[in-house]
Amino acid sequence: MSPLNPLDPLHPFKTLKVVGRFVRRQVKRSGSAPGTLVHTGEKKMEATRIRFLDYDDEALREEEVPDLSTVLPLRDSATVSWINFDGLHDLDLIGSVGEHFGLHPLVLEDLVHVGQRPKEEEYEGYDYVVLPMLTWDEEGGMVRDEQLSLILGPRWILTFQERVGDVFEPVRERLRAAKGRIRSRGTDYLAYALMDAVVDRYFEVLERVGDRTEELELEVLDDPTPDSMAKLHHLKRELVVLRRSVWPVRDVLNGLLRAESAMIQDETRVFLRDVYDHTVQIIETVEALRDVVSGAIDLYLSNVSNRTNEVMKVLTIMASIFIPLTFMAGIYGMNFTHMPELAVPWAYPALWVAMLLVAGSMVAWFRRKGWL
Amino acid sequence: MSPLNPLDPLHPFKTLKVVGRFVRRQVKRSGSAPGTLVHTGEKKMEATRIRFLDYDDEALREEEVPDLSTVLPLRDSATVSWINFDGLHDLDLIGSVGEHFGLHPLVLEDLVHVGQRPKEEEYEGYDYVVLPMLTWDEEGGMVRDEQLSLILGPRWILTFQERVGDVFEPVRERLRAAKGRIRSRGTDYLAYALMDAVVDRYFEVLERVGDRTEELELEVLDDPTPDSMAKLHHLKRELVVLRRSVWPVRDVLNGLLRAESAMIQDETRVFLRDVYDHTVQIIETVEALRDVVSGAIDLYLSNVSNRTNEVMKVLTIMASIFIPLTFMAGIYGMNFTHMPELAVPWAYPALWVAMLLVAGSMVAWFRRKGWL
Amino acid sequence: MSPLNPLDPLHPFKTLKVVGRFVRRQVKRSGSAPGTLVHTGEKKMEATRIRFLDYDDEALREEEVPDLSTVLPLRDSATVSWINFDGLHDLDLIGSVGEHFGLHPLVLEDLVHVGQRPKEEEYEGYDYVVLPMLTWDEEGGMVRDEQLSLILGPRWILTFQERVGDVFEPVRERLRAAKGRIRSRGTDYLAYALMDAVVDRYFEVLERVGDRTEELELEVLDDPTPDSMAKLHHLKRELVVLRRSVWPVRDVLNGLLRAESAMIQDETRVFLRDVYDHTVQIIETVEALRDVVSGAIDLYLSNVSNRTNEVMKVLTIMASIFIPLTFMAGIYGMNFTHMPELAVPWAYPALWVAMLLVAGSMVAWFRRKGWL
Amino acid sequence: MSPLNPLDPLHPFKTLKVVGRFVRRQVKRSGSAPGTLVHTGEKKMEATRIRFLDYDDEALREEEVPDLSTVLPLRDSATVSWINFDGLHDLDLIGSVGEHFGLHPLVLEDLVHVGQRPKEEEYEGYDYVVLPMLTWDEEGGMVRDEQLSLILGPRWILTFQERVGDVFEPVRERLRAAKGRIRSRGTDYLAYALMDAVVDRYFEVLERVGDRTEELELEVLDDPTPDSMAKLHHLKRELVVLRRSVWPVRDVLNGLLRAESAMIQDETRVFLRDVYDHTVQIIETVEALRDVVSGAIDLYLSNVSNRTNEVMKVLTIMASIFIPLTFMAGIYGMNFTHMPELAVPWAYPALWVAMLLVAGSMVAWFRRKGWL
Amino acid sequence: MSPLNPLDPLHPFKTLKVVGRFVRRQVKRSGSAPGTLVHTGEKKMEATRIRFLDYDDEALREEEVPDLSTVLPLRDSATVSWINFDGLHDLDLIGSVGEHFGLHPLVLEDLVHVGQRPKEEEYEGYDYVVLPMLTWDEEGGMVRDEQLSLILGPRWILTFQERVGDVFEPVRERLRAAKGRIRSRGTDYLAYALMDAVVDRYFEVLERVGDRTEELELEVLDDPTPDSMAKLHHLKRELVVLRRSVWPVRDVLNGLLRAESAMIQDETRVFLRDVYDHTVQIIETVEALRDVVSGAIDLYLSNVSNRTNEVMKVLTIMASIFIPLTFMAGIYGMNFTHMPELAVPWAYPALWVAMLLVAGSMVAWFRRKGWL
């Protein structure tokens, strides 16, 4: 099996992603009370990494802190505070955050119980948004997802990521540089900027998937092998997964756009509409890629049929020319006492002529049929 | 036929589930007045098992009782009372319950006439919910369903199951342990907890179906046999059945979420929304699995074509090399008196050279075509 | 062609039902004024059979009458009157009924112009409902439909059937026996009971179609013949027809449920919702059966490919083993004067050894490829 | 190519109708101002044929006139006036009509720019309806369409047809005969009658398409040829075209039904609903026919596979029986000096016995496999 | 690979358009602040070309200007001013325009960040419309798109094109000639005229795509080659792209029709409805073409199967006739000492007779099966 195929039992990402992490974990935690914090992600990191940015038009403070003592008071500051948590395994820490910021137990559960369906929920005093962060795993030839939770309060934003990542780095850059309108606007604009950064990442994934599609299309056109079909099937599966990840993101953004939420101001809506348009474009592209991959599968199948047809033609031509000739030779290989032709001097050359005539007429007939 | 195939006439679950129990039973009871109690399920159990839990913040009483005398008065207690019935064949008993709790005749009929489509109906004084309890039958390789009826009154909940099961055991545990908020909340929260336990069970079924899909995908990639197609077809059928069972559950939960019903308080709605999200995720996964199984069927078909192609190539190569050689040997096996070549001393080795040239050029040609 | 196939030109039901009776009849009557009574059904019966039931809580009168003189006065009786007409060819009689009960000309036209799409229309003073009565024609292996018209007035119901049938017999039984709540309720409840009886009949058809599907699935798995495909195609067509008949019934019932019509009381709606649920379940089952039949067609096609593959393998193995051997025998059948091998005493057994080696290595190679 | 195939370059209707007249003409007129009258239809007729009917309950005047002088004053008569124009190439004439009746420039443009999508538009003082008139071209085996424009004013109706046709003849007959309610009703009822006549014509087309489908289904079942597939493809294309023509007609009628237009009275709406029901039935039948044709294509493909399978079986049986026998004969045709068997007297009959045994066991094996 | 295939690595338009320019560019600009002007199109032109038309009923001024000094004051003129910009790379210039006309930063970003999804957005004081300008690239056999931005203000319209094009030339002609109502109407009518010109261009693309479809259909019917399938796949991909471009245009026009925008007057809406109808017709035609191309793919595949079937028949017939005969000849080529037949004088002619009988009966059998 090719290294591209994640179904290889030795492949690091062999989990069947169609069923996905959420289902498998839901089975494990099954039966616990709602709101019970059970982190279902990986537990590789030693400590949760806490970083915050606190800013207004004029000043910006950025820090990485070891514990919550510095960040909890930010809740009540008049400046915009964005606290980012990388790593979800420290349930006590997350519990403390939840208590301090008044988060609903279900929100806390969803935070740590990763693999949620993208969603947007309004609670008293804050909005809760779950989005997938997608990346393309070049080695496995597959899409990987990480859960991003974003909690949008009046003057603060909390973001929770599964792993240390850099998807928000461009936003931090803009905040530091005080570029654009980002510093002078409120939390809702920051939330928009963060979601925009996440959705922008989808375009990267889409580009890679598109490249892979193009690659396979060329392979099918130029040099199809039985492996091509397995690769196409694998790509189709990735598109199924990608589609399922991105479709609900549209609903999330639509929900934010239409929300009566006091958290989001009217002037930010036009920006959210822009992100919404991007997700629509992503979805349409995924659908189009599905059509193209289906077409490539048809192309592959027709190719196999054509090759079988060609193989059959070679066999038929060879057999149809030589089988009658062999029969003719067989006739005069018989040992009958009374075969007058055998003694005729010109019989042997005459048979050759007859054989050439038979072979020639077969060739002519095949040529007329277009098989030669 | 493999033991996986439920179409085997000796298989214990040979009923074609696509048409399902409901249809077959509806045919039998056809013509009776609505509200006539006709139990259409199995009648294996000797007696209906009645268990109740009666609790408030402080106390909890749990009992298994032989008849209705203890449980009927619970209707008017101020505490939350949950009465569970395992077994539906004792129509007199169910009739008495119905009369005492003021249930509509159609509700009673639906209770015992199992195989209903999942639904949620508001009646005066109570809500009626039907959900399927799905389990994966490992032996038959198929999904089995049982009907769960839940009647949600102001201070009481009645649940009716077809068989003794343990799907509610985790909820009972939480009630006994007074864990979480479950003891301090009303009947609507208990109803949520019960429905959540049922939906959680779907994840288990989904995991098994996903494993089976993965298994078959690997089989098709590595070692497809004609049986693989029958297994894929069988799996696809199970997905059709699963989909039909789960789709309406979403509508049930949506109905409860939007209901104006006085039975459900606003603070419980956020929990119902969580269960709703789970059903959406289940449905999306079922749809994705359908896509994957369809893809695996395509893969299988392309595999069969490829193998035919390979078989044809072997035949064509063998025949194309040896048929001309046999013809050449046939020529010099002829018994003509006048065949000057026969007497030439170097004719025999020369023929061998010619034969090797012919065979070699055929091989070269096949190699250039990529068939060797 | 098998006796199951209705496409057989000698088959009694050879009409292509997809286009259906309505279209063909519409073509014939084309151009006549709307409201012109043209009966488009069969004209086998001699006379229209008129039966009525007139009842209230206490009394019930049931009679079969030769003409309208007895039934017309029932319009103004305070009791519930149900008048049933079997046979639609007596246009004068139907015209008289229409005039007396104040029916719209279009209603009268639709009554006799059978093959209508199921529909529900509210008129001043009455509701008009058209439903198909479906039966399974075992001999033709197909679904047959008959048009049932139901006119629901304030204290009377008129029903019109194409032929004498017994679909309403269970309702009559219940009326006679004064079983259930049927006698104490109004015309709307009677209308519900009649429609319920019609929809119950669909379950029977569905069961038969399901059995046929199961039968064909088993046939395809166990012993597929070229005929199987024709049978599957025929079944698929029946499902297309069935689906088209049943889909609009759902809309009819939904229309009645939501109707502001004064004809239907609130307490009857809960019963109508029950019938509605049944039609939804029927539709979902038909859709699932379509999926299963499509799957069986795929299974059949893969089966044909597999068999071709197997046939090819046999040919390839036989040819690949014996063609080289025949060539080797051909070599030593040549008549060259100078073939030193021919005189070597051990040459013949040596050739046998060589032949066995060649054959053995071919067999080993085929075995390694898994073809043997 | 068969005469049925419109793709034949010599076929009179070779235009690819999927793209259709409208697109091709739109390309030609591209760039002209809206409202510019450019007739895009055929210009075969010498003069536009103008016919009018002017009637009320009591009197009816019917005339064919050479110019507009007689018909323009009808606009202001109190009677219902229906003016029909056959032929659209006389742009001056149509311009004059437009000016006199106060038609919007876009209406005039759409009138002559034939191939419009069916639509219904309300203007100040009149409604504008475009419907296709479909006919079945038996010779070309295809659906042809003509554009019918209907302008419904307060006391007048204008109809514009591309060619002289007789689709309205039954309506004229009814008007002349004063049959039914047509004479006593207003213009809206007349408009209904005209649209009903047009939609009735669709049933005829549908019947023919249905007959053709039945014919091809029988052909595929009984005697499929490579041509059958081309015919099925052609029929499928016609259904694509038919579907695209009829779908919007439903919207047109729905629009008229829901319109707030003062032009249509409530008592006419019930008749329009009837036509609406007919279009729904037509659409459903077209969809069902598409399903049937798709099924017939599957049937055809499975048939081709089956035939290949059968051909292969014959070859495999012949080759598997005779190739080993030929090899055996080849052995004893060799010229080794030392072949002791050759001198054994009973060797020859023994070989025959061996050959019969080999052939017999092959036959038995094939019979057991069910290939014989 | 044929010159038609854009997948050829040397082909000028090898970019996989399904993923498209927007995605690839979005990846590059990823991380910049919204409203940052990054032109993502080609940069071939030296300078942006600025042209304006300023007119009312009486006068018209048309000029091409080198910089903004002349055009900026047009914002406040009472006449209708249409300023067209060809080329989007001069970001300073576009920034100045944006500032002067009060455009939102996101509008400016979308203007230069080409490849947007078609959209219509209302801003304070102006409407922003993005439409694709589609052209058919004959050489590449593919659809190309260019982004057109249209900003509709109270007395001015700005249009931005990627390249110098002539799609608006007909509109300019009409303005210069003062033809039709265009000069006497406001900016909204001009906007309609411009959008109409763009949509009219789609018809041209559609015509070409339709011609290509017809061409390929004929090729598949008459002389299918393995290349035909690649061409059909390529065409299908173009239809996927075309569909994705045109679908949202309908929503754009629908949005403008329903908009409460003060920019569009009621009397212009009827014209917009006309353009809307055209886009609906285009979409329906694209869908129909997709159906036809899918049908042609089926036709092609069935054709390949038929040809394989025919090849197999030839092989089977040849082999079945000559293999038994060769065997018969082989028998009498054996060298047994005791073969009494060999000495019989009439044995040789008798064998010929037997051979002819065998061959004749095979031929007769094949003829009866219809294979000859």
- Out of D180, D313, D324, whose CB is closest to C35? D180
Domain extent at residue D32: 20-302
Residues in chain A closer than 8 A to E323 (CB atoms): 323
Examine the domain organization and report whether B233 and B115 are in the same domain.
Answer: yes
Q: Which of helix, strand or coil describes residue B167?
A: coil
The beta strand positions in E252-294, using DSSP E, are: none
Above 90 in pLDDT, residue A81? yes
Instruction: Tell me whether residues C30 and D201 touch, CB distance under 8 A.
Output: yes
Residue of higher predicted confidence among A338 and C262: A338
What's the token pair of residue C353? 């050894």
For residue A244, list chain B residues with Cβ-Cβ distance below 8 A: 284-285, 288
At E81 the three-state DSSP class reads: strand
CB contact under 8 A, D300 and E302: yes
pLDDT at A10 (0 to 100):
36
Partners of residue A32 in chain B, C-beta under 8 Å:
170
Residue E219 in tokens: 């090729």
Do B47 and B192 sit in the same domain of this protein?
A: yes
E265 & E345 share domain: no
Query: In Å, how far is D294's CA from the nearest CA of chain C?
Result: 10
Q: What is the CB neighbour count within 10 angstroms for residue A29?
A: 15
Please indicate, yes or no, if residue B213 is contained in any of the structural domains: yes
Q: Structural domain tally of chain B?
A: 2
Interface test with A, best of E5, E13, E22, E27 (most A CBs within 10 A): E27
pLDDT at position B45: 57
The tens digit of pLDDT for each residue in E80-101 reads: 999 999 988 888 899 999 999 9
Residues in contact with E341: Cβ distance below 8 Å, sequence separation at least 6, in sequence order = A336, E332, E347
> Is A255 in CB contact (< 8 Å) with chain B?
no
Give CA–CA dist B73/A249, Å, rounded.
Answer: 50
The SS3 of residue C192 is helix
pLDDT band at E13 (very low <50, low <70, confident <90, very high): very low
CA pair distance A278, A60, nearest whole angstrom: 30
Q: Which two tokens stand for residue D368?
A: 């057991």
Q: Tell me whether strands A126-137 and A142-152 are parallel, antiparallel or unpaired.
A: antiparallel
**Residue ranges, chain D, pLDDT below 50:** 1-15
Measured in angstroms, the CA of A224 and the nearest CA of chain E are apart by 13
Check whether residue E273 and residue E342 sit in a common domain: no
Contact residues, chain B, for C320 at CB < 8 Å: 314-315, 318
Decide if B198 contacts B133 (C-beta within 8 A): yes
Last residue of a domain, one of A252, A271, A302: A302
> What's the token pair of residue E171?
């509109």
Q: Which residue has the higher pLDDT, A267 or E30?
A: A267
CATH number of the domain residue C107 falls in: 3.30.460.20
Does residue E275 register a pLDDT over 50? yes
Query: How, if at all, do strands A49-55 and A126-137 pair?
Result: unpaired
**pLDDT exceeds cutoff 90 at A297:** yes
pLDDT of residue D351: 94
Residues 300-339 of A with CB under 8 A from E: 301-303, 305-306, 308-309, 312-313, 315-316, 319-320, 323-324, 326-327, 330-331, 333-339
Of A200, A299, A320, the CB nearest to E315: A320
**pLDDT(E41) > 80:** no
Which whole-number Å values give the CA distances from A324 to A333, A361, E229, in the listed order?
Answer: 14, 12, 36
Of D302, D320, D351, the one marking the end of a domain is D302
B299 part of contact set with chain A, CB < 8 Å: yes
State whether residue D234 sits within 8 Å of chain E by CB.
no
pLDDT digits (tens, 9 = 90+) for B87-96: 888 888 999 9
User: Is it the case that residue B313 has pLDDT exceeding 90?
Assistant: yes
Q: What is the mean pLDDT of residues B301-305?
A: 91
Question: Range with the lowest mean pLDDT among B11-25, B27-41, B106-120?
Answer: B11-25
With a cut of 90, say whether residue B167 has pLDDT above it: no
Q: Is B288 on the interface with A (CB under 8 A)?
A: yes
- Residue D28 inside a domain? The answer is yes
Tell whether D230 is within 8 A of chain E (Cβ). Answer: yes
* Within-domain flag for C137: yes
| Residue (of C72, C65, C160, C171) closest to C116 by Cα position | C160
B336: closest CA of chain A, how far (Å):
4
pLDDT for B31: 63
The answer on A282 and A174 residing in a single domain is yes
Report the neighbours of E using a cutoff of 3 or more CB pairs below 8 angstroms. A, D
| D224 neighbourhood in chain C, CB within 8 Å | none
* CA–CA distance, C167 with C50 (Å, rounded to integer): 16
- The helix (run of H) or strand (run of E) holding residue B97 is helix B91-101
- Give the residue from A255, A273, A302 where a domain finishes: A302
Same domain, A116 and A159: yes
Same domain, B352 and B247: no
Instruction: Kindly identify which residue of chain E lies nearest to residue A177, measuring between CA atoms.
Output: E33
Choose, out of D281, D365, D366, the residue to mutate when testing the contact with C (most C CBs < 10 Å).
D281
B347 touching chain C per CB within 8 A? yes
SS3 at position C337: coil
D340 and D239 in a common domain: no
pLDDT of amino acid B78: 87
- Per-residue pLDDT band for A7 (boundaries 50, 70, 90) equals very low
Average pLDDT value for residue range A253-267: 82
Whether C301 and D306 lie within 8 Å, measured CB to CB: no
Average pLDDT over every residue of A345-366: 94
pLDDT tens digits, one per residue of E281-317: 999 999 999 999 999 999 999 999 999 999 999 999 9
A5: in domain: no
- Please name the member of E123, E297, E341 whose beta carbon is closest to the beta carbon of A298: E297
pLDDT, tens digit, 9 for 90 and up, residues B234-245 = 999 899 989 989
Residues A253 and A351 in one domain: no
Averaged pLDDT for residues B27-56: 74
Where does B5-125 show beta strands of DSSP type E?
49-55, 60-65, 80-86, 119-123
Query: C301 and D303: CB-CB below 8 Å?
Result: no
Chain C (263-282) residues lying within 8 Å, Cβ to Cβ, of chain B: 270-271, 273-274, 277-278, 280-282
B126 contact residues in C (CB cutoff 8 A):
none
Give the pLDDT score at D11: 37
Query: Could you read off the pLDDT of A133-161 as tens digits, one per residue?
Result: 998 888 777 888 889 999 999 899 999 99
Residue C354 in contact with partner chain D when CB distance is under 8 A: no
Same domain, A179 and A247: yes
User: Taking CB atoms and an 8 Å cutoff, what residues of chain D touch C332?
Assistant: 334-336
Is there a domain that residue A283 lies in?
yes
Q: Around D321, how many Cα atoms within 13 Å sit in the side-chain half-sphere?
A: 24
Dist CA C302 CA C300 (whole Å): 5
Residue A357 shares a structural domain with residue A216: no
Q: How big is the CA angle at A66 (ends A62 and A71), to the nearest 5 degrees? A: 55
Question: What is the pTM assigned to this prediction?
Answer: 0.86
Residues 78-97 of B with CB under 8 A from A: none
* Residue A349 maps to a domain: yes
Chains contacting C with at least 3 CB pairs below 8 Å?
A: B, D
Q: How far apart are CA A288 and CA E245, in angstroms?
A: 11
CB contact under 8 A, D289 and C325: no
* Residue D178: other Cβ atoms inside 10 A: 14
Among chain C residues, the shortest Cα distance to D217 is held by C7
Query: Per the CB < 8 Å rule, is D23 touching E214?
Result: no
Supply the pLDDT for residue B42. 61
> What pLDDT, on a 0 to 100 scale, did the predictor assign at position B139?
79
Percent of chain B past pLDDT 90, that is, above it, reads 51
In a domain, E160, yes or no: yes
Residue E32 has pLDDT above 80, yes or no: no
**Shortest Cα distance, chain B CAs vs residue A342, angstroms:** 4
Q: Quote the CA–CA distance of A365 and A239 in Å, as a whole number.
A: 49
D174 interface with E at CB cutoff 8 Å: no
In order along its 372 residues, chain C shows pLDDT tens digits of 333 343 443 333 344 466 766 776 677 666 667 767 766 666 555 678 999 999 988 889 999 998 888 888 888 888 999 999 998 888 889 999 999 999 998 899 888 888 888 999 988 889 999 999 998 888 777 888 889 999 999 899 999 998 887 789 889 988 988 766 788 888 999 999 999 999 999 998 998 999 899 889 989 988 888 889 999 999 999 999 899 899 999 999 998 888 766 778 888 888 999 999 999 999 999 999 999 999 999 999 999 999 999 999 999 999 999 999 999 999 999 999 889 889 999 999 999 999 999 999 999 999 998 888
D103-159 residue pLDDT tens: 998 899 888 888 888 999 988 889 999 999 998 888 777 888 889 999 999 899 999
Residue A173 lies in a domain: yes
Same structural domain for residues B245 and B357? no
Check if E184 contacts D (Cβ < 8 Å).
Answer: no
